[in-house]
Chain A
Amino acid sequence: MADELYYQSVADLSARLEHKDLSSVELTRAVIDRTRSVEAKIHAFNSFDEDDALAQAAASDARRAAGASGGPLEGIPVGLKDVIAVENQPLTASSRMLANFVSPYDSTVTQKLKKTGAVLWGRLNLDEFAMGSSTENSATGVTTNPWDPSCVPGGSSGGSAAAVAAGEAIVTLGSDTGGSIRQPAALCGVVGMKPTYGLVSRFGLIAFASSLDQIGPFAHTVEDIAILLQAIAGHDERDSTSFQSAVPNYRAALAQKKGPWKLGIPKEYFGEGLDPEVGAAVEAAIAYYRGQGCEIKAVSLPHTQYCLDAYYVIATAEASSNLARYDGVRYGHRSPEAKEIGELYFKSRAEGFGDEVKRRIMLGTYVLSSGYYDAYYLRAQKVRTLIRQDFLNAFYDVDALITPTTPTPAFKIGAKVDPLALYLCDIYTIGANLAGLPAISVPCGFASSGLPIGLQLIGQPFAEAELLAVAQAYEHGHDWNQRHPQL
C-alpha cells in the first residue's frame, strides 16, 4: 500500500483510528484535499459538502473518545452513488429530472452506514438513472478513468469506481443492475461486488430495474469489501424482496475459509469478442488458482447467448414503469412551458430525461404493450429462468465460476456511439443479475496500454463469505492493488 492516507485500506485505517494515531477529521481532511486536487480531472462527484463531512468526522472522533465506536467503518469516509438516498442531501441520479431534488429520507443502507459511524462523503456520478456502461450518459458530464483520463471509467457506477481508484474516497457504494459495479471496478482497477439479489435492502435506492438492482461496495481490498458488505447486508422489512436470513460474519469467514475450491470455467465466456490481453490475464489467474491446489473444471452455461436479449427486455420493461413517477407533478423537473397535464408530462419528461433513458423507456413500454407482452416480456422471463438454472446446474459441480469481468479494458470517451456496442460491455456481468447471484470483480493485471483488467468470480446464492474468500486467495498472491494511477 502507498503511504497516502487516502489509498490505505479500511482495515488499516480503522486500526490507526482505534489507536488514536489518526483522527477521522485528519483522514477526512486528507480525502477532501485529495478530492480538491484531482476532482477537476476525474469528476467522480456530482456534489460534496466538505463542512458536513468534517462535522461528521468530528462527531465520529467524539464518539470514539467516548468509547462508542460503531465498528471498523467508524470515521471512514464512504462515498455514495447518487442514487442512494441520504436525508437532506441531493439525490439526482445524474439526471436533469432530479437536478434540484433533495431527499427527505435515508435509504436503509444509509441508516446502516450512519450506525457504523462512517463519514458519508459526497454524491457520486453515474450514467443517468444507472443506465449505461461508461458514465457518459450523465447529465453532469462524464467521469474520467483515473488511469487514463481520455478513457471512460465504466458505468453506471463510474463515479464510485473512479473515486476509489483516485483516492477521493476510501470506499464507496454503487449499484449493479447488469454489471454497474463490477464493470467499472474492472475498468478502474478496484474491487467491486454485487451481492446476491435480496441480501442488501433496496429501500432508498432509486430503482432502475427492480428485479435486478443490488447495492454493493467498491474498495481496494477484498477485506474492505467484506467490512462494507457486513455494514449494509441484512433483512429489511421495508423491502419485500429482501431475504430473511442471518448475515454471516464475512470478515471472520475470510480468515476461516481457505480452500482449495472447485472452480468452474464457463466456456461461453471465453469466445469471440474477448480482448486477447484480458483473456491472457484471466488465464493467468486460473493458472494461479490451479497452482494453489484448486480443481479447475470446464462448465457450460448453454443459455448465455440469450442473456443480453433477456436483460434488455426485462430491465427496460421494469424501468419504463419505475421511471413513470418522474412526471413533474410532485417533484423534479417541471417544464415551464406546459399549459395542460398532457403537455406537462410530455415536456417535463422530454426535457428532464437524456437520450439513453428515453430509449430504454420506449423499449420497455413497447415490450409490455398489449399484443407484444407474451412475445417479449413473458418469453424473457422464461429465458431468465433457464439462465438461472444453467448457473444452479453448474454449481452442482463447482464452488464458484471464473470469468473475465469485461471483454476489453476501458475504452476512449466517445468511442462507442452505437448503443448496442455499449450494451456488449456487460455481456459477462449480466448473467449474475438475471440469476440473482453474488459476483465480484478483482484486479487481475494491466493491459499493455496500462489500463487495468478485472477478474470476475461468480458465487452461489448467499455464498458471499465463500466468494470473498476465493477472491482474497487470488488477491493475496498478487499486488495489483498496490498500484495507483499517476494523477
Chain B
Amino acid sequence: MTQYEAVIGLEVHVQIRTKSKMFTRVGAGYGQPENTLTDPVVLALPGTLPVMNKAAIDAIIKTGLMLGCEIAPVCKWDRKNYFYPDSPKNYQITQYDQPICLGGRVEVELPGPARNVMGEHKHIPLTRIHLEEDVGKLTHGPHESLVDYNRAGTPLMEIVTDPALQSADEAYAFLTAIRAMIVQGDVSDCDMEKGQLRCDANISIRPVGQKELGVKVELKNLNSISYVRDGIAHEIKRQISVLRSGGTLVQETRDYDGVAGVSQSLRSKEMAHDYRYFPDPDLMPVKVDDAWRKRIAATCPEAPFVRQRRYFEVYQLPYTITSVLVWDRALAEFFEATVRLAGMGRAQVVGNWIVNDLLRDLGAAKQTIAECKVCPEHIAELVALIEAGTVLNNAAREVFSEMFATGELPTVVVERKGLRAVPTDVGELEQWCRLAIAANEKAVAEFQGGKDSAINAFKGPVMKASRGKANPKLVDETLRRLLASG
C-alpha cells in the first residue's frame, strides 16, 4: 500500500495590540458596543485617506526580529481589491510583493516520549510576515445581515510559513512557540477566542519519496490551537482515504468544525478571486533604517528555547521546571529575580516553589503573577528559613499559602501562626528515638545488615511523637548515633 507524507503550510493572522487602528486615530479594541470604534476613515467615507500607525510597524519589526526574519529596508503598501461588506473600502490595504519581514525560522519542540522528557527540536522556516488591516464582522440573521466595523482596520500581521511542516503535531508546536514569543514580546495577547490569533492551514499529501506537491486544500476556521492540530490530522486522514479509495483530490477551501471533528468544502479553486493587487497610491513606502531596527531589537525578549538552554547551563534546572518557566516571561523573570536573592545554589528549590506551589495557588485564585501578592523576596526568604531549619517542610507549605493570601513576609507569618520549628529538647528527642528503635527490631537488623534506607522506618514514629516539629536533620543524626552505639 502506498505510504503518504503530508506537506503543510500555515498562514497565521495575529492582531497587533495598538492604541489606535492601522490607518487612523480611532481606538482599536475588543468588546465595545457595535460600530463605536469607527470614524470617517474606518467607514471609508468619501474623501478619507489612510495614515500609517507607526506603533504597528514597531510591533511587526519586533515580531520579525524575534522570529529570525530579515527586515526589509523598504516595504510598501498594496491594495487587495474584492467586494465584501466586511471591508468598508472594498479593498484591503496589505503588503503584496514587498512585505516588511522576509524569511525567518522558528524553533519548535515536538512532543517528547513522556511529559518529563524533552522532545525533538526542529526549525520551521518562514516565508514572510506582512502587515495589513483586519476586516469588520458580519452577523447573519434570517432576513438581514448586520455588520460591525469595530474590528475593521485593526492592525493585523500575517505570518506565512514555507510548506515545510510534516505533521499536525508540528503545527501545534509551531503555534505554541510563536504565540508565546508574540505574547512575551508584548505585541499581542494572541487570544484565539477573541480572534486575536487565527490560523489557516494549507495541506497536501504525496507518496513518500515524491518531490512534487500534491493537491492543496486550505483549511479555515481553526479557532484554537488544538483544533488546528485536530483539523490537520483529520484532513491528512481524509486525503489519504480519498486517494486510497481511488478518488481524486480537488483544490478547495474547507471549513473545519472542531466540535464535531468534521470538515466541509467552502469553495473550489474555480471560484478564486482576482484581487487586482496594485500599490496603494495613498501611502508612501516604509523605509526601516538601521537605527530603527536596532531600537526595536533592544526591546526583544529572550526566546523561550534560548532561555531554557541558559536555565540548563546556568541553574542546572531539570527539564520539567524549565519547560514550565520559559513559556511565561513574567514567571521566568520572577524566577530569576528570586534566584538572585536566594543564591544560585538554590535555583532548583526556588524553581520547585514557583512551578509547584505558586502556580497552583495562582491557578486556584485565577490570578496572574503580576496581580499576586507574592514577590521574589517572599520565596527567597522562605527558602532561607527552611534551609536554616527555622521552618519545617510541612509548616513551610502553610507559610506559603498564608503569605500568598496576605502578602506578609514568611518571618511574619511564622511568628504570627507559631510555625517556628521548636528548638528540640535533646533528651526528649533521644527518648523518642530509643522508643522507635526498640519498637522495630526488624529494621534494626536490616540497618545493621547494611541497608541504610532502613533508618527511615524509625523517622516516622519520631516525627509523629514530635508532632512534626522535630528537625529531620537532628533526628537522622540521633538515630544513627544510637544505632551505632548499639
Residues of A within 8 A of B (CB): 83-85, 91, 93, 98, 101, 103-105, 107, 202-207, 209-211, 237-241, 317-318, 320-321, 324-327, 329-331, 341, 345, 365, 368-370, 373, 377
Contacts and interface: CB of A to CB of B under 8 A. Distances in A.
B90 A327 contact: yes
B44 interface: yes
Interface stretch (B56-64, B81-89, B121-129, B454-462): B81-89
Interface string B31-46: 0000000001001111
User: Does more than half of chain B's interface fall in helix, strand or loop, or is it mixed?
Assistant: loop
Interface stretch (B47-55, B351-359, B441-449): B47-55
Interface residues of B, number: 29
Interface string B267-297: 0000000101110011110000000000000
Contacts of A209: 281
Contacts of A210: 281-282
Contact of A238 (B51, B281, B283, B284): B51
A324 B49 contact: no
- Kindly list the 10 A-B residue pairs having the minimum CB-CB distance in the complex, ordered from nearest: A324-B90, A210-B281, A211-B281, A368-B276, A325-B44, A204-B47, A206-B46, A370-B274, A85-B47, A325-B89
Contact of A324 (B45, B48, B91, B283): B91
Nearest to A205: B47
Given A202-B49, A324-B89, A324-B91, A241 B278 contact: no
B254 interface: no
B210 interface: no
A238 B49 contact: yes
B50 A240 contact: yes
B85 A341 contact: yes
A240 B282 contact: yes
Contact of B284 (A101, A241, A321, A326): A241
B281 A318 contact: yes
B276 A237 contact: no
A369 B49 contact: no
Contacts of A331: 43, 45
Given A325-B89, A368-B278, A370-B274, A85 B46 contact: yes
A321 B47 contact: no
A207 B47 contact: yes
B453 interface: no
A294 to B, nearest CB: 36
B46 A101 contact: yes
Given A324-B81, A327-B90, A365 B40 contact: no
A64 to B, nearest CB: 31
B7 to A, nearest CB: 25
6 contacts: A207-B49, A210-B281, A240-B51, A241-B283, A331-B45, A368-B278
Nearest to A212: B281
User: Does more than half of chain A's interface fall in helix, strand or loop, or is it mixed?
Assistant: loop
Contact of A368 (B43, B81, B89, B282): B81
Contacts of B130: none
A240 B46 contact: no
Nearest to A332: B46
Nearest to B77: A240
A109 to B, nearest CB: 11
A103 B81 CA distance: 25
A206 B48 CA distance: 8
B145 interface: yes
B17 interface: no
Nearest to B89: A325
Contact of B46 (A103, A345, A365): A103
B51 to A, nearest CB: 6
Nearest to A341: B85
Contacts of B274: 369-370
A368 B147 CA distance: 29
A104 B282 contact: no
B155 to A, nearest CB: 16
Contact of B47 (A91, A240, A327): A91
B216 interface: no
Contact of B276 (A103, A104, A370): A370
Nearest to A104: B40
B83 A237 contact: no
Contacts of A370: 274, 276
Contacts of A329: 85, 147
Contact of A239 (B43, B49, B81): B49
B21 interface: no
A239 B51 CA distance: 7
Contacts of B90: 324-325, 327
Contacts of A345: 83
Given A238-B51, A373-B278, 15 more contacts: A83-B46, A84-B47, A93-B46, A202-B47, A205-B47, A210-B282, A238-B49, A239-B51, A240-B283, A320-B81, A341-B85, A341-B145, A345-B83, A368-B276, A373-B277
B378 interface: no
A295 B442 CA distance: 124
B79 interface: yes
A260 B85 CA distance: 58
Contacts of A84: 47
A241 B48 contact: no
Contact of B83 (A238, A324, A368): A324
By CB atoms of chain B within 10 A, which of A101, A209, A325, A331 has the most? A325
By CB atoms of chain A within 10 A, which of B52, B91, B276, B284 has the most? B276
A203 B49 contact: yes
Interface string B67-108: 000000000000101010100111100000000000000000
Contacts of B276: 320-321, 365, 368-370, 373
By CB atoms of chain A within 10 A, which of B45, B47, B49 has the most? B47
B88 A325 contact: yes
A107 B283 CA distance: 18
Contacts of B277: 368, 373
A365 B275 CA distance: 10
A321 B274 CA distance: 13
B49 A105 contact: no
Contacts of B85: 327, 329, 341
Contacts of B49: 202-203, 207, 238-240
Contacts of B81: 320-321, 324, 368
A84 B274 CA distance: 32
Interface in B366-385: none
